[in-house]
Structure 1
Amino acid sequence: MNLYPIETGNFKLDGGAMFGVVPKTIWNKTNPADANNLIDIAARCLLIEDGNRLILIDTGMGNKQSEKFFGYYSLWGTHSMDQSLAQFGFHRDDITDVFLTHLHFDHCGGAVQWNKDKTGYEPAFKNAKFWTNENHWKWATEPNSREKASFLSENILPMQESGQLNFIKRNETDFLEKSELDFGIFFVDGHTEKQMIPYIQYKGKTIVFCADLLPTAGHIPIPYVMGYDTRPLLTMDEKTKFMNAAADNNYYLFMEHDAHNPIITVQHTEKGVRISEVFSCEDILKSNIL
C-alpha cells in the first residue's frame, strides 16, 4: 500500500464560525486571522494505492461553481486536483473509488464537474465508484435548513444519476467498523449525520483521516467545536472518545483542513489531550513521494 497527499486548493473561512463559542483572543493564537477575520483552510485529500485499487478520500470544492460563490471563500495558493494527481503519476480516470467522508460542498464538490458543453453535470471520476452511506445520503438529499447551503444538489445527485453511487454497509455495533474498502470507519454524528472517519493501517502506523471531526490542530481541546456543527454537545462526546484513543494508540492524524499542520500526533497532559508532534506528509508518507 502507498499513500499520497492530494492538495486540491486552499481557501479561508470565518474564524468565529470555525471556533463557535471560543473567544477570538484564544483561537487566534493557533489559527491567526487576517483583517477580515478569516483563517487559512486546506482541502487536503488522501489517495490510497492498494493493489489494483486507487481510492481517493474526499475531493475538495472542485471548480464548477460561480466566481461569486468562490468569492465567499477567498481561494489562495496554486494547488489543484489534477496537478496533485499528476505529481504522483496519476490521472482522474485512474481512480477506482471515491470515498466521501460527508457531502458538504468542500468535501465532495470536486466529485462532479460540468459536462463538455456546460449543459449539465457529470462525475469527475468516470471510472470510480462513489461511496457514502445511506443515512447520510438521505440527510444530504433532504437537507435541514441549517445545512441546506452546504448540501448542493449539483454536487450530489449526478453520482446517483450516473449509476456510480454506492453505500457503505454498517453493522452499528463496533466503535470501529470494517468497510468494503478494507479500512476501518468511525461513524460520528455531531458535525452532520453519519460523517465517516477512515482509519488506515499503513506500515505499522494507524493513519486517521480527520475530516471535520478535528478540522485543525487548534480544535484539539474538547470544547473547541465549530459553529457549523449541528449537534455540538455530541461532537464533544465524540471528540473525547476519539482524542483519548488517538493519544492512547499514537494515531497519526491526517488533517484535511489544517493548512499548516498536515499530520499530527497527540498526547495526554494535565490539561487533557494536547498536540505532541507535527509532521509534513513527506515525513510520514515519504516512501512513495516521487
Structure 2
Amino acid sequence: MTAGSELRALLSQRLVPLIAEIEELVYKHGYIRVFGSTVTLLGTVGLLGQIFGIAWLRTVFATAAGALFVVAALVSFAGTQRQRNKLVNVETILHDYADSMHTDSPIVLREWRQETIVENNGDVYCKRNIILNAASNGKPRYVSLKMVYYGITPLTARAKRRISCKAYHARPESASERTRAKATSVWKNSKSGKPRLDIYVHLGNRVEDGDLVTVEWWWPKMSADLMNGLEPEGFDVAFDKKVCKFTHRVVFRNVSNPSALTVRNQGARNFKKKVRNNDVIVEFSAREPRLNEPMGFIADYTRDG
C-alpha cells in the first residue's frame, strides 16, 4: 500500500464522519443559522484575542471557524444539488410512466384557449384554459403542456428555476371558485433538440363534464432573443389527444416599431394579425385539428427596421 493510498484512507476515515456530522448540522439548523453562528464565533474569538493579546488563540480559532464555514457552505451546496437531482430523476421516471400508460378512455378536450403575452423585454406570460369532457371511470387523470425554448442564448439552470407555474381546477358554473391543482414539471428535449418544459396537471380520479383547468406560467426572458432582434421564434401547437376546438392568441406588447415585427404562417388556420396602438396581436384557431400536426407561425423582429 503506497503512502498516497494510506493518506487517502486516513483522510477518508477521519473526514467522512466529520463531514457527515456537519451535513446533519446544516440539515437540522439550516445554512443561515450555521453561517450566523460561524460569524459570531469569528467575532468573539477575535475580540477575546484582541483584549487579552493572545495572538495564537485568535489565529487558531479564526482559522478553525473559517474552515468550518467553508465546509458547511460546500456541504449545504452539495446537499441542495443532490436533492434537486434526485427530484428531477424521480419526476422524469413518473412522467415517462404517465406518458406510456394510455387508457382506453382518454380525456377529450372540449375547448382549448391560450393567450401568450410577450413583453418588449422578452418576458413571457401564458394562460391556458382547457374545458374537458367527462372521464369519470376512477382512473388517475392528468393533462400535459409542453413549452419549447427556441432562443439561441443558452438556458442555464438558474434561468430554469426562475420559471413559475400555477394550475387551477374548477367547475364551469363556479369558475371563480377554482382550487389549486397539483402540477409537476420535467425538462426534456424537443424533436429538434431544443429545451422543452413539460408540465403535468394532476386532476385526480374523477373528471366531470365541463371541468375547467387553468394553467398560468411566467417565463422571464423566454423571447429575449426575438425581441432583441437576434433570432426568429416559432409559436406553434400540436395535439396528441382529441380537441373539439382551440384558439391561440399571441400579443406582442409595447413593440417600439410594430411594422418591423413580421410573422409567417406555418399551417395555421383562421390566421389573423392586427396592430393595436403598439401591440401586435396574432391569432389562429381551428375545429377538430388533426393529431400531432404542428400549426402556428414564425415571428421575426428587426429592431433597425
TM-score between both structures, scaled by the size of structure 1 = 0.24
Query: Which has the larger Rg?
Result: 2
Higher strand share: 2
TM-score between both structures, scaled by the size of structure 2 = 0.23
Higher helix share: 2
